[in-house]
Amino acid sequence: MFGRYAPSPSGDLHVGNLRTALLAWMFARSSGRGFRMRVEDLDRVRPGAQEQQLADLAALGIDWDRPVVLQSQRRTVYDDAVSRLVARGLTYECFCTRREIADAASAPHGVPGHYPGTCRRLTEAQRAERRAERPAALRLAAGVDQFTVRDLLHGTYTGPVDDLVLVRNDGVPAYNLAVVVDDAEMDVDQVVRGDDLLASAPRQAYLATLLGTVPPHYAHVALAVNGLGKRLAKRDGAVTLGDLRALGWSQADVVAAIADSLGMAARDAAGMLAEFDPAALPRTPWVFAPPEPVAG
């Protein structure tokens, strides 16, 4: 079985991404699992980003089992999964705009980020009328309102499940479908990622059960944040490996900073792996401040 890391090639990885990748790698290798790399390139792609991301990960000492999997080459796999759900009557067309969804979620009894099932209640005549106005997305007709997962760091977590999008109205498989199908097809039984994604685990685990697979073991790790406590981003300054190199940091310096943030004494990836103890991981965010140039 495998753990995995799955970057989206929209730009360079920042130190928070690199930290999560190192953690995913350590979780997998320390538990005797293989480690897979998946490029989630169904959406926005910046030319050259994939190659740079993989180079940066390798430079930190992360290795992975070949080949690198590209989501853009797996459309037939996603189409097959959708066809199976459609055949079981577990889907419906959705014509709602982003504004309509936002308005419904902000209504007095709405749940933020939760689709209220508006199009699930349309008659066939209404669907035919809406098809003439705009292309439809395809949603899951969920049979539960919530689902429970077990997380190694957060314990038992129960979260809402709504009628999530399976295929966008431009025909592209949605993230929640692709990630579930990929993990199952790639024999990934351990998912390590930032704890901002913990809320998505119940709906993904539920979808996995509908597709006849066992949900993976989860570990949602604390994020790297800026001085305001917001999730770290490129706009925060020198946060990528390239930025830090330009300031005089070596790859070893970056690994050492990540190790310090995890309370580890090791100064390289191999040493961190030997020292790795999931129970000792910090549960609070790492506040990363862009460094000053290194003299010399």
Which residue numbers are catalytic? 234
CA pair distance 213, 211, nearest whole angstrom:
6
CA pair distance 292, 34, nearest whole angstrom:
38
Task: Compute and round to an integer the Cα radius of gyration of the chain.
Answer: 21
Give the number of other CB atoms < 10 A from CB of residue 80. 11
Give the number of other CB atoms < 10 A from CB of residue 58. 12
Q: How far is CA 264 from CA 122, 249, 255, in A?
A: 56, 19, 11
Question: Which residues are bridge partners to 38 per DSSP?
Answer: 69
Can you say how many angstroms the Cα of residue 196 is from the centroid of all Cα atoms in its chain?
A: 9
Q: Where are the alpha helices (DSSP H) in the chain?
A: 15-30, 49-59, 75-87, 98-105, 124-131, 175-185, 201-210, 241-246, 251-261, 269-275
Give the number of other CB atoms < 10 A from CB of residue 265. 10
